[in-house]
């Protein structure tokens, strides 16, 4: 009997350990074992978010700070105000340096692209060209001091109107080493419209070619002979962008980056299913051990163990 109890105890202990192991695998595989980065600041003027797209028209959520340009297209989740949703509407992508002790309106920043004419007022877009620099170039002047964070913003423009920056879509990115990662945000449709940088219209170039923009539309683009030093204009009709005079090293392909994925299942549902499966196995194991114990007690061998030997009183 003592031996049987020990076997049952050992089996139950093994089953409990197996349950814990199953939960650990599920939790680890579902990506909830590590805490998500927390943005240490708030911006009351940020409304909606920005999605970033690579040259292939795919949304990306991380990449190399040396990729040149930083992104090929930025898409707003927020529509343009009605008085800025007019022919000639423009959008520009900027980056800002969050600083502790300062309001978001007091942060310093510069443009990452020139202003772009876009087609869909429901999703304003800013397009980049080969003339626009990498995030590493921006960081030479504006280091991400606060927990490695930078904030991206999109400002809008329209003919005969001041730049609209009372509210703006924003995206927080965290820089770790040579990698940037989006924190927050959400999905966007990189092909919901078209955008053309004013750099391709205004600035001279050595070679003009036609390339396919995200979404499959063909627009003229410029293959420059080198980067200009340019100033970081931020007005709605500005064509300047912040490039600096230093060429970033180790540049990755413009299409590099982590493509954003839409979750297909809930972590809670997966974990609940794993727990139910493990508990069902545990119950089955206990039932099997009890049945074997009962069979042993009623077997001839088991009965003989309890019969009195010859010469002994029962």
Task: Tell me, yes or no, whether 307 lies in a domain.
Answer: no
Task: Tell me, yes or no, whether 313 lies in a domain.
Answer: no
The pLDDT value recorded for residue 211 is 41
Q: Considering only CA atoms, which of 196, 218, 274 is closest in space to residue 21?
A: 274
> Tokens 């194991």 — which residue?
285
Same domain (yes/no): 121, 225: yes
Same domain (yes/no): 112, 28: no
> Tokens 């192991």 — which residue?
21
Structure-block tokens of residue 168: 């703006």
Same domain (yes/no): 118, 240: yes
Number of residues in the chain: 314
Task: Tell me, yes or no, whether 50 lies in a domain.
Answer: yes
The pLDDT value recorded for residue 86 is 97
Distance of alpha carbon 314 from alpha carbon 312, whole angstroms: 6
Q: Which of 242, 259, 276 is the last residue of a domain?
A: 259
Task: Tell me, yes or no, whether 96 lies in a domain.
Answer: yes
Distance of alpha carbon 130 from alpha carbon 67, whole angstroms: 11
Same domain (yes/no): 147, 93: yes
The number of domains in the chain is 2
Same domain (yes/no): 275, 226: no
Same domain (yes/no): 81, 187: yes
Distance of alpha carbon 180 from alpha carbon 60, whole angstroms: 11
Mean pLDDT by runs of 10 across the 314 residues of the chain is: 57 52 45 71 97 97 97 98 97 98 97 97 97 96 97 97 97 98 97 94 56 43 33 38 36 46 48 59 60 56 46 48
> Tokens 């340096």 — which residue?
97
CA diameter of the chain: 119
Task: Tell me, yes or no, whether 308 lies in a domain.
Answer: no
List the domain range (segments joined by +) for residue 19. 2-32+265-292
Same domain (yes/no): 277, 136: no
The pLDDT value recorded for residue 203 is 72
The pLDDT value recorded for residue 27 is 45
Task: Tell me, yes or no, whether 278 lies in a domain.
Answer: yes
Same domain (yes/no): 242, 275: no
The pLDDT value recorded for residue 268 is 54
Same domain (yes/no): 17, 67: no
Same domain (yes/no): 154, 99: yes
Distance of alpha carbon 96 from alpha carbon 170, whole angstroms: 10
Whether the CA torsion 297, 302, 305, 306 is positive or negative: it is: positive
Rg (CA), the chain: 31
Helix axes 267-298, 2-29, angle to 10 degrees: 170
Strands 46-53, 168-176: pairing kind: parallel
The pLDDT value recorded for residue 89 is 97
**Contact present, 80 and 89 (Cβ < 8 Å):** yes
């Amino acid at each position: 009997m003592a031996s049987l109890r020990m076997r049952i105890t050992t089996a139950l202990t093994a089953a409990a350990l197996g349950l814990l192991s199953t939960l650990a695998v599920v939790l680890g595989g579902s990506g909830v074992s590590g805490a998500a980065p927390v943005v240490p600041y708030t911006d009351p003027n940020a409304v909606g978010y920005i999605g970033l797209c690579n040259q292939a028209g795919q949304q990306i959520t991380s990449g190399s700070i040396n990729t040149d340009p930083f992104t090929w297209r930025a898409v707003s989740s927020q529509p343009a105000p009605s008085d800025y949703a007019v022919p000639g509407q423009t959008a520009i992508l900027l980056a800002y340096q969050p600083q502790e002790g300062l309001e978001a309106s007091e942060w310093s920043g510069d443009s990452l692209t020139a202003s772009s004419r876009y087609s869909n007022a429901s999703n304003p877009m800013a397009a980049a060209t080969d003339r626009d620099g990498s995030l590493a170039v921006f960081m030479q002047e504006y280091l991400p001091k606060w927990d490695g964070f930078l904030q991206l913003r999109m400002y809008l423009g329209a003919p005969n109107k001041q730049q609209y920056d009372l509210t703006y879509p924003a995206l927080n990115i965290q820089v770790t080493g040579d990698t940037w990662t989006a924190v927050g945000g959400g999905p966007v449709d990189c092909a919901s419209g078209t955008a053309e940088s004013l750099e391709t219209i205004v600035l001279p170039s050595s070679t003009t070619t036609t390339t396919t923009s995200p979404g499959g539309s063909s627009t003229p683009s410029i293959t420059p002979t080198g980067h200009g030093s340019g100033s970081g204009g931020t007005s709605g009709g500005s064509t300047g962008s912040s490039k600096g005079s230093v060429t970033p090293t180790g540049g990755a392909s413009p299409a590099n980056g982590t493509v954003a994925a839409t979750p297909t299942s809930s972590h809670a549902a997966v974990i609940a299913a794993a727990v139910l499966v493990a508990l069902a196995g545990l119950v089955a194991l206990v039932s099997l051990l009890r049945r074997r114990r009962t069979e042993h007690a009623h077997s001839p061998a088991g009965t003989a163990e309890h019969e009195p030997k010859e010469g002994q009183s029962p």
